[in-house]
Amino acid sequence: MASAAETVKKIALELGGKNPNIIFPDVDLDTAVDYALSAAFFHSGQVCSAGARLIVHNDIHDAFTTELARRAEAIRIGRGQNEGVRCGPLVSAEHRAKVEKAVARGVEEGARIIAGGRRPEDADLRDGYFYRPTVFVDCDRSMDIVQTEVFGPVVTVERFETEAQAIELGNDTDYGLSGGVWTDDTARGERVAAALRHGTVWINDYGPYFPGAEWGGFGRSGVGRELGLAGLDEYREAKHVYRNLSPEPQRWFG
């Protein structure tokens, strides 16, 4: 953006995100946990729109996180060519070190690990850049692990009690790329989705993309849009041509 400013070039930036995934208590727990795992750990969390910030209602928090941790521990990681593998390596040793530093920082802040938080112990994975899917609980908005994008297989869990609190937490971020809302109440889902300041909000889903739907974010998630009509506009310059069909003297200057 700084380089483009020197010659006033138009630019679109799709940057990062710390994306909320809000879970109300009226959902089917099995389905919501299933999607939450995919939202957080698909591509080992190396996705700009990863649902890395779970916000779960108090009434189902304990049951939800217990099942989330159980399934996270059961995820098979390894080389993608191997049958049954669901999480691959991180992109480099340097990036894994960055993820490990973020996890250590979360522990220092008082968050508690209930799954993962370590490299795999399998002998055949020691030479790769693997890291176990990690679940943090006892998290709050003041923590860096909650606010800073990790870009790895790490998910934090916060609690909420009211719809207003869920919205407030969901918007408490410097980013604004994407988010999810899980509820069996159609009106509530639409209210919360409308109130969240994120470029894409999924209701009772997480992660589908469509060529006809604009993609991009608010805040530090970038400027401009990809895909959809707005995405095409990023490649065009608007031009206005005016033609006077009956020009006559105006006599403004006498």
Catalytic site residues? 14, 48
Residue 136: how many other CB atoms lie within 10 Å: 27
Nearest to 222 by CA among 39, 57, 11, 8: 11
Amino acid at 88: G
- Where are the strands (E) in 50-153, listed by range? 53-57, 112-115, 134-137
Contact 49, 200 (CB under 8 A): yes
Residue 102: how many other CB atoms lie within 10 Å: 18
DSSP letter, residue 118:
S
As a whole number of angstroms, the distance between CA 161 and CA 31 comes to 21
Q: What is the distance, to the nearest Å, from the Cα of residue 14 to the centroid of all Cα atoms in its chain? A: 12
The pairing of beta strand 134-137 with beta strand 112-115:
antiparallel
Residues 6+ apart with CB under 8 A from 197: 171, 176, 218, 219
As a whole number of angstroms, the distance between CA 96 and CA 89 comes to 9
